[in-house]
Amino acid sequence: MTGVRWTRWRRRVQALSALLWLALPVLADPRLAGTPAALRAGPVDLVEPSAALATALAARALPAALLVSALPLALLALALGPVACSWLCPYGLVSEGLDALRDRRARAPRIPDAGHRARAASLAALLALSLLAGAPIAALLLPPRALAALPLEAWSARVVPWVSAAILLALLALEALGPRRLVCRALCPAGALAALLRRPFTWGPRFSRAECRCPDRPPCVQACAWGLDPRADRPPDGCTSCMACVEECPSRALVALRRAP
Amino acid sequence: MEGAAAFLRRLLRGAPPLRPPGALDEEAFAARCIRCGRCAEVCAYRSLRPAGAGRGLEAGTPEVVAREAPCWLCLRCPPVCPTGALAPVASPRDVRMGRARLVAERCFAFQGIVCRTCLDACPLQGEAIRQDEELRPVVTERCVGCGLCEHRCPAETPAIVVDARRRP
């Protein structure tokens, strides 16, 4: 154990994030407003990069302001990996909850390792659809957007949010019936784009084979919500830097930071 | 490609909905709006509603249903739009949501009943709606389409309705 209780910290951050999306419609303050598709925080405008890309394709134009507001989250993914998925996304929290319920009843099938190909294909399809339809479909179907739209539309517009609820139910049904965490791991355009941005220097669990003492079914692989094997030179494709594997590692084979030799 | 998509969209939806102040033309608006909900969130009068599934690909984009909740022209929504689907608007007079249209056969003033509800409701007092010599309301070029008149009209089916701005 490295000592850092990564999962406990992650749950706290996830809970704060979930509270934020619930509170924003009630606050109704232009200085802090939005959903995971786009958040305004004071002078800073944050647009989720896949939503920005979808609207740029649909409108066949990329205004400088849109590019600037999509950069912070893209840079975050470049630096830390898809941490928005594992630490901030409200849909991710719901998906993890659903997965935990499901796990108790039966060993649901884990998604096969072709996950990264499914992810890229889904992102490409959603972006192509956005371009052809002239509407940012990737943004409309963005899971955390649909989730955060429920309290927003119910409170701010005083309507029953049928469309967002229908999108959300369809996504949850896919997760309940399909391979584990299917939506997060293979279908979400935001997660797919963030995962594509991972580079060798991007933060993630660092593995040292010399210090690994575990047999065939090591706790790190058991801990990974996506069934990835972190025992490699670099974090596996799709790793969201949740650090559960690092927390479970009984030796110092997996650490959050390792100086280059 | 552009033409086919536009044709399909026109075929699928009926009359264009009233959009928030500053909205680009329908095609450009539908392409840019990422349904983030910020405009609806900051609307002081809860007038912006997400379009329903009947609008197809435009589901979730903001609409104003004037009879139920008109736009009070507070102009809080254009500055919060992250993608420029809502362009900045300098003043309520520059809003171009649509234009009110009088339906004479339903209007009390055309039946000899004294009624000036729409004139009193109009935020551009005396500019967007005037009275003719027989004290009947007349919509002028200055109307911005906020829908306050439609909202307040005492006729059971409103005698003044806002047509959303159409592309030239």
The count of CB pairs under 8 A between chains A and B is 135
Residue A16 lies in a domain: yes
Lowest mean pLDDT among A175-184, B36-45, B86-95, B146-155: A175-184
Supply the pLDDT for residue B168: 42
Residue A84 lies in a domain: yes
A114 has a pLDDT exceeding 70: no
By C-alpha distance, the chain A residue nearest B27 is A134
Residues 82-121 of A with CB under 8 A from B: none
pLDDT per residue as tens digits for the range A53-105: 999 999 999 999 999 999 999 999 999 999 999 999 999 999 999 988 886 65
Query: Do B50 and A132 make contact, defined as CB atoms within 8 angstroms?
Result: no
When pLDDT is averaged across residues A124-137 and rounded to a whole number, the result is 96
Residue A219 lies in a domain: no
Residue A72 lies in a domain: yes
Q: Which helix (H) or strand (E) holds B99?
A: strand B98-102
Query: Do B83 and A166 make contact, defined as CB atoms within 8 angstroms?
Result: no
Computed over every residue of chain B, the mean pLDDT equals 92
Residues 58-87 of A with CB under 8 A from B: 58-60, 63, 65-66, 69
Contacts of A53 (CB under 8 A, 6+ apart): A70, A127, A138, A193
A1 has a pLDDT exceeding 50: no
| pLDDT cut 70: percent of chain B above it | 90
Closest CA to B148 of B96, B78, B73: B73
Residue A205 lies in a domain: no
Residue A76 lies in a domain: yes
pTM reported for the whole predicted model:
0.90
Find chain A residues with C-beta within 8 A of B53's C-beta.
162-163, 166
Supply the pLDDT for residue A222: 86
Residue A116's domain spans which residues? Answer: 6-196
By C-alpha distance, the chain B residue nearest A154 is B49
A54 at B interface, C-beta within 8 A: yes
Query: Which is higher by pLDDT, B2 or A100?
Result: A100
Q: How many domains does chain A have?
A: 1
pLDDT per residue as tens digits for the range A17-56: 999 999 999 999 999 999 999 999 999 999 999 999 999 9
Q: Which domains does chain B have, with CATH numbers?
A: 2-80 (no CATH), 95-164 (3.30.70.20)
Residue A163 lies in a domain: yes
Q: H helices within chain B, ranges in order?
A: 2-12, 26-32, 38-42, 77-80, 117-121, 148-152
* Extended strands (E) in chain A: 32-35, 38-41, 44-47, 206-207, 254-255
Task: Give the minimum alpha-carbon distance from B47 to chain A in angstroms, rounded to a whole number.
Answer: 7
Q: What is the DSSP letter of A44?
A: E
A110 has a pLDDT exceeding 80: no
Find chain A residues with C-beta within 8 A of B1's C-beta.
132
Closest CA to B138 of B112, B111, B116, B166: B116
Query: Do B37 and A148 make contact, defined as CB atoms within 8 angstroms?
Result: yes
Residue A252 lies in a domain: no
